[in-house]
A and B are shown apart, each in its own frame.
Chain A
Amino acid sequence: MKTSRGSLAGAPLADVVYGLAMSRVLFALEVAMNDAGINANIKLGNGDVIKFTHSSYHDDVMIPISGPAERIVDYTCKNASIVYTVFKMYGLTINFSKNKTEAIASFHGKKAVSAKGKLARNNMNANFEAGNNQFNLRFVTNYKHVGTKTSITCNMAEEVVSRSGMMKTDCRTNFRKVFKINGLQIHKKLYYARCYIMSKGTYQCSTWPQLNQQVFQKFHSAVMYVYRAATNKFSGSYQNKETPMSDDDLIFNFQLVSPTMVLRNARIQLFIRIIRKMPNTLLS
């Protein structure tokens, strides 16, 4: 396939060309934001100023904004207007629909409660004008990017809880049909359950930080739910004179991977991968 302009999607040059082209747009955006007085500078106690700028990953851009609590929504809307205008100059159109372009706000300091209430009264939406058009910017508590929900607190609780819910729902609807097949051997059922947990159930779990007890309980119960469905060891499914199994017994007897070990294994594997890829100078 011959190309006359640009590069094919997935070609090694595509990312480089895209990065070069996008850097020009982002530079123009930064200049426009500085002219409008919007920034994310944080002044420390000793007078030093830490400047945060945008962070981009391919076609996704994250722009931090700081300001007084009562004006942060206005700043965000103003910035969304600037982003729309700058991108439009280069022939790019911003998609402000759900799960595309959204804002995450965190209110602290003076008048934080009233600002939060004002935003909630508007159903977590803010309207702004750009290029003679009216747009609606959604304020959300978390944003899903590359399959993972990220919130401003970075504790991943929402991601873990939604993954746990997903495991239980999938187990109820789909897997019980598989697990109910009498002719299927139990080790094959467990293999199926383990594959599901390791892939969809714990997607990107290597980057999860330490979970608090409440969140970990949810994750633990979801993983054990899948294991119990595979082994048919629910509380109501025991035969006569059969002793009910605790979670620990179930893991031990069937030689399963415990929920803690699932996370620990993924985390250490990622750590080893980072060490393998990182330059030697970092260790010196």
Chain B
Amino acid sequence: MYQQKGLSSGWVHDVVKDLIWMSVFPDFSCFKDTDIVKACNIIKEDPGYWTKKVSKLAQTKAANIEMHQVQIKDNVMHPQKIVCHLCACNANTPQLHSLHLFKHHGIKSPYRIYIDGVHCPICLKMFHTRERTVNHIRYDSPKCRALIIHLGPCLTPEAANALDAAERERNRHFYAEAKARSKADIPYFRLNGPLLNVYAISNGSYKRNISDVLK
């Protein structure tokens, strides 16, 4: 009934969804199979009564069952445990595995040795910080990741650690402000070309220009 009014998104849509959800409870059964105008008229008769009723409902155990709204993605995607290749320790998620590698063996992300600046050398996007550039390679762009691995590392692990140490103070400052270390104050933009010429394998054949590969 509520959907007939063309409310497909926005705040009112959420209120309507809440009213539908509330109508399951016996005290709010009058909101079942009615439209938004009728619901408004019902509330208009005695708003104070409904305010108290809703407040009381919010305190009940039945209303606070979450019904697993927050999906645990990692467990769905990685049902099997990840085993550490150094100490055979198990981890439930890739994030825990990475944490274990760093805490117990001092191994950091392998992508850090591929980035020495603040822009991606493949797509020429300027990210202003090395942290954001590494994140771009690690998570955002599979194409850039594949091609930068093809180019090879540009830093030694010691040099990468030194660059990490240089950013430590800034990260500490962000942590104190409860911000992510990849916090973006300025959006990225693309630097002027030309794009880097590299050999890359695409569909089994060599291509000369990277722009052909990115298409």
Taking Cβ atoms with an 8 Å cutoff, the residues of A that contact B are: 113, 116-117, 120-121, 123-124, 141, 165-166, 168-169, 207, 209-210, 213, 216-217, 220, 247-248, 251-252, 255-262, 264-265, 267-269, 271-273, 275-276, 280, 283
Contacts and interface: CB of A to CB of B under 8 A. Distances in A.
Given A207-B11, A258-B64, A268-B54, A217 B178 contact: no
Contact of A117 (B11, B19, B189): B189
11 contacts: A113-B190, A165-B178, A165-B179, A168-B178, A256-B64, A257-B59, A264-B58, A269-B51, A271-B18, A272-B50, A272-B54
Interface stretch (B39-47, B111-119, B194-202): B39-47
Contacts of B59: 255, 257
B69 interface: yes
A217 B21 CA distance: 21
A260 B189 contact: no
A124 B64 contact: no
B21 A264 contact: yes
Contacts of B188: 120
B65 A248 contact: yes
B120 to A, nearest CB: 15
A272 B189 contact: no
B186 A124 contact: yes
Interface residues of B, number: 43
A268 B64 contact: no
Nearest to A209: B11
A272 B43 CA distance: 7
Q: Closest 9 CB pairs between A and B?
A: A165-B178, A117-B189, A169-B178, A265-B58, A276-B47, A258-B64, A120-B189, A275-B43, A210-B14
Contact of A257 (B21, B64, B189): B64
B181 interface: no
Contacts of A256: 64
Interface string B60-76: 01011110111100000
A272 B41 CA distance: 11
Contact of A275 (B13, B44, B190): B44
Contacts of A265: 54-55, 57-58
Contacts of A275: 40, 43-44, 47
Given A165-B178, A213-B71, A217-B70, A121 B14 contact: no
Contact of A261 (B15, B64, B178): B64
Contacts of B55: 265, 269
Interface string B27-43: 00000000001001101
B65 A268 contact: no
Contact of A283 (B37, B50, B61, B71): B37
A124 B188 CA distance: 11
B93 to A, nearest CB: 14
B40 A283 contact: yes
A165 B176 CA distance: 10
Contacts of A116: 187, 189
Contacts of B65: 248, 251-252, 258
B10 interface: yes
A162 to B, nearest CB: 8
